[in-house]
Amino acid sequence: MRLEVVGHLGHRAVQVTDVLMTAGVTAGVIVELVYMGNITIGTPPQEFQVIFDTASSDLWVPSIFCTSPACSTHVRFRHLQSSTFWLTNKTFRITYGSGRMKGVVVYDTVRIGNLVSTDQPFGLSVKEYGFEGRAYDGILGLNYPNVSFSGAIPIFDKLQNQGAISEPVFAFYLSKDKREGSVVMFGGVDHRYYKGELNWVPLIQAGDWIVHMHSITIKRKVIACSDGCEALVDTGTTHIEGPGRLVSNIQKLIGARLRGSKHYVYCSVVNTLPSIIFTINGVNYPVPARALILKDSRGHCYTTFKDSKLSPSTETWILGDVFLRQYFSVYDQGNDRIGLAQAV
């Protein structure tokens, strides 16, 4: 999905051409979307397509030393062609829900639109697993510095430190189909992308985009998070993920049946299914069934609820893009809070 990058430098907004389109809407049901944006690295600049991910903190792209099958189909950074590149001997590993990588920490100039971070530490992958067939080259983490696996200062914090952005805030508008543009904003919020007021939700603790969720309900019946739970607001995940037992219960409630790795429903019943309501900080956030069900390549309808690979001590849910397409989201690092409002 096309993702436009907007940097607010004081009162001057900078718009950048963007990226991806793998999306569509068929009979009211969305085909799986991925949201990516362009960045450049090096001098002269080399262009990469990355996922902007609020659940991780590290920026990385493939290196020319990576021989994994995933790297051969993606753009690899040619470090010898950059006059501003320098190498370290520090290595690191990251495991994501979708794959894992091993890399080395390096430094160079990174540009997100007209926002420039000089001497930015980031990772070059030397091994990748699970990223085969993905449209994006790498990942740009927007979480807090304390969850960085490489130990490098994240690019958002570096931009703040360099005075490149006016406020320690970024925001996402994720559109519902490929005819509209999606936007990530740095340093400010564009009010044209949401209706009404922003509802501010404090983070459970500074250092992760996780908030307290009161309940998950269908038709006023609590189906999960009955004693309150944690919710990670995650732009890098398509699905809504939670504990296996509770996810299985939701699949049964909506009549979904497991075939292969996905739970399917008849496309003809999608518009008759009730909304699922996520209650956060006293505010209800309904997500209609048609938003929670996607189509596969054969045109069959499957649900976006998935078993989480996390095994925390408390009940934790991941609210991914299917939730964030409905709700414009603001990430306020200065006040350790998230703002949510109905997306236009």
- How does pLDDT run across 165-202, given as a tens digit for each residue? 989 999 999 987 666 688 999 999 999 999 999 999 99
pTM of the shown model: 0.91
Catalytic residue among 53, 58, 108, 208: 53
Per the CB < 8 A criterion, the answer to whether 290 and 308 are in contact is: no
Q: Is 228 left (phi over 0), alpha (psi -120 to 50) or beta?
A: left
Catalytic residue among 58, 137, 234, 332: 234
- The answer to whether residue 10 scores a pLDDT higher than 80 is no
Q: Give the whole-angstrom CA distance, residue 83 versus residue 97.
A: 35
* pLDDT at residue 50, rounded to an integer: 95
- The answer to whether residue 256 scores a pLDDT higher than 70 is yes
What burial class does residue 336 get, using C-beta atoms within 10 Å of its C-beta: 0-12 exposed, 13-18 middle, 19+ buried? middle
**Domain coordinates of the chain in residue numbers?**
13-165, 190-343
- Whether 234 is a known active-site residue: answer yes
**One-letter amino acid identity for 251?**
Q
- 26 pLDDT band, cuts 50/70/90, is very low
- Whether 336 is a known active-site residue: answer no
- CATH for 13-165? 2.40.70.10
Sheet strands (E) in 130-246: 138-141, 169-173, 182-186, 194-202, 210-218, 221-224, 229-233, 240-242
Per the CB < 8 A criterion, the answer to whether 259 and 270 are in contact is: no
- The answer to whether residue 107 scores a pLDDT higher than 50 is yes
Mean pLDDT of 31-49: 88
pLDDT tens figures, 53-101? 999 999 999 999 999 999 999 999 999 999 999 999 999 999 998 799 9
Fold of 190-343: Cathepsin D, subunit A; domain 1 (2.40.70)
Fold match flag (13-165 vs 190-343): yes
* pLDDT at residue 106, rounded to an integer: 98
Share of the chain above pLDDT 90, in %: 79
